Amino acid sequence: MHANHHSETALKLATLCFVCMTAAIDQGGELRADQPQTNESKSVSVGGAIILSNDFSDESIGPYTDVTFKADRDWGKVLWANYHGRAEIIDHHGDHQLRLKFPKGKFGHQHTGGNAAVSIGTHDEICQRVTIRFEPGFSFVKTGKIVGLGSGAHWSGGNVPREGQGYTSRFIWDREQEAAMYLYHMDQRSKYGDVVKLGFKFQTGVDYTLTQRVKTNTGSDPNGILQVWASENGEPPRLVVDRSDLRFGTKGRGKTESMFVAPFHGGGDSSFAAAETSYLTLDDFIISTVKFSDLP
Ligand SMILES: [Ca+2]
Ligand SMILES: [Ca+2]
């Protein structure tokens, strides 16, 4: 008991230090005065509440190996990164962006896109943003995952948190190129997660800025919040999902702890495989403990 108390305190202190450190890196790092690339921009204001920010401005053009991913301090604490050579930094009109490859005929994150997770501390409320672009010729086929949040990394692949152990909420593309959220939570209807549509279809060549806000429910009450905003090519964000009836967890569980950067085609069989070699570009990852200032 005594030892447990001490390690718990140490963990809390470590978490606090991690938050302070990354906030300091963000304030001094990404918007440096000596950074000449004006395309690397952030317009949101969230004060010191940013706990993660990565626009790849300090990364070299070329392969972004799993070693590079783990060494990129802008992620904070990387839990794992497995892209197997399918990630690279590209220069898009002076903006450094992360591009992932989805080889023809492949499915699953072992063989398309990749799988990375970042530990972000433990939060009752969190706001996540990323900008994505499906490159021209992208083969959508059926469905695929993009990025998301969760409590731990267990709740996916038919592993249902039926006892209220936690959740995952991921952006996906669904059938017919529908933009959607993919939710694992204790009240999910399907063994393989609930799909919540965003109300539009993804087009290739468009920059989509996607934001989700997750606020954990209280106790075992169905009052957890999931809000999603979307914007295209820098237009003002539109609220496209507004739920306040979710249970992300019970008994103090269901807090947000992880960010997933794990885009892949699938599904679990070859009917999900990319029909042509495809590319998805990701940029401007931001996670904040408060709602971004530009959200309606
Ligand atoms: Ca960038
Ligand atoms: Ca970096």
Q: Quick: pLDDT tens for 248-280.
A: 999 999 999 999 999 999 999 999 999 999 999
| Number of the ligand closest to the Cα of 58 | 2
| Number of the ligand closest to the Cα of 286 | 1
Instruction: Report the top-level CATH class of 47-288.
Output: mainly beta
Please compute the mean of the pLDDT values over residues 176-180 and round it to a whole number: 98
User: What are the extents of the domains in the chain?
Assistant: 47-288
Please report, in angstroms and rounded to a whole number, the separation of the first and last CA atoms in the chain.
47
Q: How far is the CA of 181 from the centre of ligand 2 (A)?
A: 27
**DSSP string computed for 232-283:** ETTPPPEEEEEEEEE---STT---EEEEEEEEEE-SSSGGGS-SS-EEEEEE
Report the alpha-carbon distance of residue 46 to residue 25 in Å, rounded. Answer: 15
Q: How far is the CA of 60 from the centre of ligand 2 (A)?
A: 9
Q: How far is the CA of 148 from the centre of ligand 2 (A)?
A: 20
Q: How far is the CA of 58 from the centre of ligand 2 (A)?
A: 5
Q: How far is the CA of 56 from the centre of ligand 2 (A)?
A: 5
Q: What is the pLDDT of residue 90?
A: 98
Q: How far is the CA of 242 from the centre of ligand 1 (A)?
A: 29
**Does residue 14 surpass a pLDDT of 80?**
no
**Does residue 294 surpass a pLDDT of 50?**
yes
Q: What is the pLDDT of residue 153?
A: 83
Please compute the mean of the pLDDT values over residues 198-203 and round it to a whole number: 98
Kindly report the average pLDDT of the chain as a whole number. 88
Please compute the mean of the pLDDT values over residues 2-26 and round it to a whole number: 36
> Which of 39-43, 124-128, 157-161, 191-195 is least confident?
39-43
